[in-house]
Chain A
Amino acid sequence: SQKIEQNSEALNIQEGKTATLTCNYTNYSPAYLQWYRQDPGRGPVFLLLIRENEKEKRKERLKVTFDTTLKQSLFHITASQPADSATYLCALNSGGYQKVTFGTGTKLQVIP
């Protein structure tokens, strides 16, 4: 069955450093991969989407890579700030939002 793995342990990082979060998947050939941010008590907020034929996507301090051979996506936040502290979810989609599969998320804590 399809499986998505995100590091369930929280990631603590010093302010100003680059945070790198990992999303691994098995038994899946997603056409799209999305990253969301979720704050406590709030719904997920869409951040970035990357397609299977794209290796890298950037948006301001965010960068996402997608390696379909390794079946892995990396999510980077450069020059991290305490305001970046949140849980980050990856979501894989083979076609249509009705078929999206979400990961469990990784909690990021940026320490001042």
Chain B
Amino acid sequence: NAGVTQTPKFRVLKTGQSMTLLCAQDMNHEYMYWYRQDPGMGLRLIHYSVGEGTTAKGEVPDGYNVSRLKKQNFLLGLESAAPSQTSVYFCASSYSLNPDTEAFFGQGTRLTVV
């Protein structure tokens, strides 16, 4: 049982390049989330999804797009990377939006934009 798996683990992009981060979960969770974690700041929600085919904006959505074509996968896209998007990105999933239930996080993707 792998839980939440993110690919890739590391990536270096040049300014203006695009890329897609993949998150896969095998727990049949309806809810999935993308966060970014920066030094001196708490995890911040970028986008989230409440089910297959649905997505919604979080706290810091600008510059990112997401898609949830399959229940087990949640993709985060950067169309034109900027140095300000240098960060560690975490995907998470949960059985419910209710925080009574546990959220499971992936191991993270360290992205550097030069």
A interface residues (Cβ-Cβ under 8 A, vs B): 4, 8, 31-32, 34, 41-46, 49, 89, 91, 93, 95-98, 100-105
Contacts and interface: CB of A to CB of B under 8 A. Distances in A.
B43 A44 contact: yes
Given A97-B97, A100-B99, A42 B107 contact: yes
B25 interface: no
Q: Which 7 residue pairs spanning A and B have beta carbons closest together?
A: A43-B105, A102-B42, A102-B43, A93-B99, A96-B97, A32-B99, A46-B102
A99 to B, nearest CB: 9
Contacts of A105: 42
Contacts of B44: 102
B90 A44 contact: yes
Contacts of B4: 43
A57 B42 CA distance: 24
A98 B92 CA distance: 11
Interface of B: 4, 31, 33, 40-45, 48, 56, 58, 90, 92, 94, 97-100, 102-108
B97 A45 contact: no
B105 A100 contact: no
A67 B108 CA distance: 32
Contacts of B31: 97
B87 to A, nearest CB: 14
Contacts of B107: 41-43
Contacts of B102: 46
Contacts of A97: 31, 33, 48, 92, 94, 97-99, 103
A45 B105 CA distance: 7
Given A43-B108, A91-B43, A105-B42, 20 more contacts: A8-B40, A41-B108, A42-B107, A42-B108, A43-B4, A43-B107, A44-B105, A46-B104, A49-B99, A89-B43, A93-B99, A95-B99, A97-B98, A98-B45, A98-B58, A100-B99, A102-B42, A102-B44, A104-B40, A104-B42
